[in-house]
Amino acid sequence: MFSSKSLRNIILVATVAILAAGGVWANEAAKKRRAAGMMWAIPAKSLFCVRINKFDSTLDGVNEFLKDVAPDSLDAKTALLSKLGSLLGDDRLRGVNKKGNIAIFGLNVPGESAARGPMGNMFIGALLPVMKYENFISRNPNCGEPDDDGISTITSNGSPMGLATNFRRYALLCPPNARENLIKVKKLLNQRKQSLGRSLDADERKQAWSSPVWVYLNVKQASQMIQPMLFGGLEMIKAQLEKAKERGEGPPIDPAGIIAFYRGIFETVLSGTENITVALTPSAEACNLTLGLKPVPDSMMAAVVGEPMDGDLDHLLSYLEDGAIFNVAGKIDRKNLKTT
Last residue of a domain, one of 217, 240, 262: 217
Q: What pLDDT score was predicted for residue 20?
A: 46
- Sequence-distant (6+) residues with CB within 8 A of 75 are 63
Per-residue pLDDT band for 309 (boundaries 50, 70, 90) equals low
pLDDT of residue 119: 67
182 and 165 in contact (C-beta within 8 Å)? Answer: yes
Q: Is the pLDDT of residue 240 over 50?
A: yes
Inside any domain, residue 48:
yes
Which residue type does 250 have?
G
Residues 273 and 174 in one domain: no
Domain identity same for 99 and 208? yes
Please give the biggest Cα pair distance in the chain: 111
Does the residue 312 lie in any domain? yes
Select from 49, 33, 40 the least CA-distant residue to 198: 40
Q: What mean pLDDT comes out for the span 308-318? A: 64
Task: Band the pLDDT of 160: cuts 50, 70, 90.
Answer: very high
Any domain includes 117: yes
CA dist 1 and 4 (Å) reads 10
Residues 82, 156, single domain; the answer is: yes
Q: Is residue 324 part of a domain?
A: yes
Residues 262 and 304 in one domain: yes
Q: Which of 156, 182, 217 corresponds to the end of one domain?
A: 217
Check if the beta carbon of residue 136 is closer than 8 Å to that of residue 89.
Answer: no
pLDDT for res 331: 65
Domain assignment present for residue 114? The answer is yes
User: Is the confidence at residue 35, as pLDDT, over 70?
Assistant: no
**Cα dihedral sign for 171, 91, 209, 205?**
positive
Q: Are strands 122-129 and 102-108 parallel, antiparallel or unpaired?
A: antiparallel
Is residue 36's pLDDT more than 50? Answer: no
For residues 317 and 248, state if they share a domain: yes
Residues 142 and 192 in one domain: yes
* Number of domains, the chain: 2
**Partners of residue 103 on adjacent β-strands:** 51, 127
Mean pLDDT of 2-21: 48
Q: Is the model's pLDDT at 147 over the cut of 90? A: yes
Q: What is the mean pLDDT of residues 15-41?
A: 53
Note whether 61 and 161 are same-domain residues.
Answer: yes
Residue 176 lies in a domain: yes
Domain termination residue (choose one: 182, 217, 252): 217
- Quick one: 176 and 257 in the same domain? no
Answer yes or no: do 197 and 268 share one domain: no
d(CA 282, CA 213): 9
263 lies in a domain? yes
Residue 183, domain member (yes or no): yes
Check whether residue 208 and residue 311 sit in a common domain.
no
Shared domain check, 163 and 124: yes
Regarding whether 297 and 163 lie in a shared domain, the answer is no
Which domain does 254 fall in, by range? 221-339
Split at pLDDT 50, 70, 90, the class of 129 is very high
Q: Is the pLDDT of residue 28 over 50?
A: no
pLDDT greater at residue 112 or residue 156? 156
Share of the chain above pLDDT 70, in %: 78
